Amino acid sequence: MTVDVYRRLAHFLDQLPGGFPATDSGVEFKILQRLFSPEEAEHFMHLSLIEETAKVIGCQASKPVEEVSERLAGMERKGLVYARLKEGHDSQYSAVHFVVGIYEFQLNKMDTALVEYFEAYLPYFIDPEVWSKVPQLRTIPIGESVAATTAVMDYERAEALIQRHDRISVANCICRLEKEILGEPCVKPVETCLSFGSGADFYVRNAMGRYITQEEALGILRIAEENGLVLQPDAAQETTFICCCCGCCCGVLRTLKNHPAPAEIAASAFVAVHDEDLCDGCGLCQERSQMDALYLDNGIMSVDRTHCIGCGLCITTCPNEALTLERKPEAEERYVPRTTTDKYIHLAKTRGVLDNRKMAKIFLQSRKDRLLAERDS
Ligand code: SF4
Ligand code: SF4
């Protein structure tokens, strides 16, 4: 019975756009057993990605609203559901993907055993085939790495993304925290993960982060540039977060680096271009590249276009301005959905877990549950 609930939960999570792939070792079940009680697992399967009140979810689960409210509040504290609280309104809850979601929300609960499970699961999690079509994160250029003459969209400018928000939080990077627990602490700063809007509220409410001002958030971007961290926001124009990542700890960058051609699967509109006439071979750019995308060939520095993800870190520190960041040809650029919801619909359809019929069914079910909840109140 208990095993069965975790099998059903694994399937349920895999049917969400972000997926929850099966492994040969079964480590994914160890993760679920560690995070969810059997009762929480059952509750989770009454949620969808549509935000609903406890009353509506109670109707769906045929359970008293008080019991459901209490359970959901507890699950929010454990990072197992997403919640949006608005003054004067009932709290709204939704299911949350394993990544980005449940994994990141374990920030305060990590220990050696959990980190080892996550590390064992990482190679299964990112399917390069799917990621190349619908990435969950994208890479945007750091600081002033793009020349004024190069076209840059507003959603590709980290500063502009931050300036859109009045509620911003910063949290510790879960990947660098993981490495610290494993006894391999990273030399780069840890408190660098930015969330916006209701995501910021969620982090602060659940003691995972603290609110900061726009100025402080812009300061985090400067810290990222100084320390050679790659900017990776949500792969949507209206981004909900920006990660500041290093190639040694970040699960996504580590996975990309293991691919023979990371540039083919990473979502970036830019690529570094090298001018050998200006280069004195100092090697600083090699130290900066988190993707090992620069190499010496017969004493001449070159950019490996198949590895460059257009982060711009090598550009801003080249003493001779021998590197520039250029926009890729339009045919090589990736589609960036407008919202996170658009991204997830696109991802779910690409993974084959959603079609228009299933989507209509989910919306109709939500409507029915809301009507029933209204009738019963
Ligand atoms: S940092 Fe600039 S000058 Fe130094 S090796 Fe790289 S491209 Fe050449
Ligand atoms: S060469 Fe490396 S540091 Fe430079 S833009 Fe490409 S990935 Fe970033």
> If DSSP codes are grouped into helix, strand and coil, which group holds residue 102?
helix
SS3 249: coil
Q: What is the largest CA-CA distance in the chain?
A: 77
282 lines ligand 1 (CB under 6 A): yes
Tokens representing 325 are: 């960041």
Residues 35 and 80 in one domain: yes
> Distance from the CA of 176 to the center of ligand 2, in angstroms?
21
Identify residue 368 by its one-letter amino acid code: K
Query: Residues 117, 12: one domain?
Result: yes
Say if residue 141 is in the same domain as residue 213: yes
Name the residue with the closest Cα to ligand 1, atom 2.
318
Please give the pLDDT value at position 85.
Answer: 87
Question: From the alpha carbon of 313, which atom of ligand 2 is closest?
Answer: 3
> For a pocket test of ligand 1, which of 289, 294, 297, 301 has the largest count of ligand atoms closer than 8 A to its C-beta?
301
Ligand 1 neighbour 280 (Cβ under 6 A): yes
CA of 253 from ligand 2 middle (Å) equals: 12
Question: What residues contact residue 209 under an 8 Å CB cut-off, 6+ apart?
Answer: 169, 170, 171, 172, 193, 195, 200, 203
Question: Cβ(231) to ligand 2 under 6 A?
Answer: no
Point out the ligand 2 atom lying closest to the alpha carbon of residue 309: 7
Tokens of 371: 């009507």
Give me the pLDDT at residue 99, please: 92
pLDDT of 283 reads: 93
* Residue-level pLDDT at 1: 56
DSSP string over 56-78: HHHHHHT--HHHHHHHHHHHHHT
Q: Which residues pair with 241 in a beta bridge?
A: 195
CA dihedral 104, 69, 13, 197 (to 10 degrees): -40
Nearest ligand to the CA atom of 284: 1
Q: Which of 276, 282, 304, 324 to mutate to test the pocket of ligand 1 (most atoms within 8 A of CB)?
A: 282
Number of domains in the chain: 2
For atom 7 of ligand 2, the residue with the nearest CA is 308
φ, ψ dihedrals at 74, nearest 5°: -65, -40
CATH of the domain at 41: 1.10.10.10
d(CA 248, CA 120): 16
Nearest ligand 1 atom to the CA of 281 is: 5
Closest CA to 35 of 111, 89, 93: 111
> Ligand 2: which residue has its CA nearest to atom 3?
289
- Looking at the fold, whether 202 and 144 belong to one and the same domain comes out as yes
Closest ligand (CA of 285) = 1
- Find the ligand nearest to 317 CA: 1
Same structural domain for residues 115 and 140? no
Q: Which of 145, 275, 277, 280 to mutate to test the pocket of ligand 1 (most atoms within 8 A of CB)?
A: 280
Residue 89 sits in the same domain as residue 155: no
Query: Which ligand 2 atom is nearest residue 304's CA?
Result: 1
- Point out the residues of the chain with pLDDT beneath 70: 1, 377
Domain limits at 15? 2-122+341-376
pLDDT at 90: 86
Ligand nearest 268 Cα, by number?
2
Q: Is the residue at 247 inside a domain?
A: yes
Spatial distance between the Cα atoms of 159 and 214, rounded to a whole number of angstroms: 9
Q: Is the CB of 314 under 6 A from ligand 2?
A: yes
Same domain, 6 and 64: yes
- Do 19 and 103 lie in one domain? The reply is yes
Residue 198 lies in a domain: yes
CA of 243 to the centre of ligand 1 (A): 27
d(CA 377, CA 373): 6
Helix 174-181 crosses helix 112-125 at what angle (to 10 degrees)? 120
Residues 181 and 112 in one domain: no
Answer whether residue 129 is part of any domain. Answer: no
- Does residue 116 fall inside a structural domain? yes
128 is a domain residue:
no
- Ligand 2 pocket residue status of 269, Cβ below 6 Å: no
Q: Whole-prediction pTM value? A: 0.94
Whether the CB of 228 sits within 6 Å of ligand 2: no
Tokens of 125: 């999690």
Distance CA 262, CA 306 (A): 6
The reply to whether ligand 2 has any atom less than 6 angstroms from the CB of 311 is: yes
Regarding the beta carbon of 283 and ligand 1, being less than 6 Å apart is answered yes
Q: Does the CB atom of residue 146 touch ligand 2 within 6 A? A: no
Assess if residue 130 is contained within a domain: no
Q: 189 with 325, same domain?
A: yes
CATH number at residue 234: 3.30.70.20
First-residue to last-residue Cα distance in the chain: 33
Is the CB of 142 within 6 Å of ligand 1? no
Whether residue 81 sits in one domain with residue 174 = no
Quick one: 302 and 347 in the same domain?
Answer: no
Asked whether residue 222 is domain-assigned, the answer is: yes
Identity of the amino acid at 45: M
Note the pLDDT of residue 372: 85
**Within a domain: 131:** no
